[in-house]
Amino acid sequence: MPFNTPYGAPISLQRAQAVAQAAVTEANRRGWQLNVAVVDSGANLVTFVRMDGAQLRFDCAPPEHKARAAVKLPRGPTPGV
């Protein structure tokens, strides 16, 4: 697979906000306080939501970095797994 193949279609701001809201709704249902980052197919931040009570920026990787890493991971199964 060529490395310049796009990962997927870009996500609109409206869709990214809907995805983030769905994550917040589920987190509220479960009693979690989360930071939610949505990135596009190029690993660029589109929207970010910090829920009340969620950890302040951060003792670990910020969620934007985690989201970027998820986009940049190779597609398909991991060899040897």
Taking only the tens place, the pLDDT of each residue in 8-33 is: 778 899 999 999 999 999 999 999 99
pLDDT for residue 80: 47
Q: How far are the Cα atoms of 1, 29, 36, 51, 60 from residue 66, in angstroms, in the given order? A: 24, 23, 10, 17, 10
Residue 56 lies in a domain: yes
Residue 81 lies in a domain: no
Residue 45 lies in a domain: yes
Residue 54 lies in a domain: yes
Entry field: residues in the chain: 81
Give residue 59's domain range: 13-72
- What one-character DSSP code corresponds to residue 36? E
**pLDDT band for position 61 (cuts 50, 70, 90):** low
Residue 47 lies in a domain: yes
Cα separation, 25 vs 52, in Å, equals: 13
pLDDT for residue 41: 78
Residue 35 lies in a domain: yes
Number of domains in the chain: 1
